Amino acid sequence: MGAEISTPKQANTPVLETKPSTIFERKTSQLTEVHSKKLWKTRFHASKNTNTLVVIDFTASWCGPCKLMEPTIKDCAAKFTDIEFFKIDVDMLGDVAEEFEVDAMPTIVLMKNGEELDRVVGAKPGELLQKIEKHRV
């Protein structure tokens, strides 16, 4: 079984935020890198109406511990295809980070039906896996 990855046809082609098959969403996982408030509002609102576990990774490009967690997040998104994963750069969407009261990175928030269930603050892959397993049922 090979992994399918969606890639842009041209390097300078803008990625459409409204299509589920963009570069930010792979067929083998549910990892969405959110770069606009509009996309965030649309996707987050839609997730509130389902019983799907949502994992939101608040990160920053300059954050060392965030880089340590990145492989764990990607692996979890590939493994747990029944869970929706979002990656939000706090420098790009600071107002979203404020809404979730994020004051340290990485902060990973687990939600279901629009309600926060749990969070992991810091580079703690084992704790994240434990909490995902706990809340995905």
CA gap 66, 58 in Å, rounded: 9
Name residues whose C-beta falls within 8 Å of residue 34's C-beta, 6 or more positions apart in sequence: 24, 40, 43, 86, 87, 88, 93, 96
**Structural element, H or E, at residue 116:** strand 115-121
Query: Is 76 noted as a catalytic residue in this protein?
Result: no
Q: Position of tokens 């896996």?
A: 129
- Report helix, strand or coil for 92: coil
> 43 near 108, Cβ under 8 Å?
no
Q: Which of 34, 39, 55, 66 is catalytic?
A: 66
Q: Which of 39, 63, 97, 128 is catalytic?
A: 63
CA gap 87, 24 in Å, rounded: 10
CA gap 24, 1 in Å, rounded: 21
Catalytic site positions: 63, 66
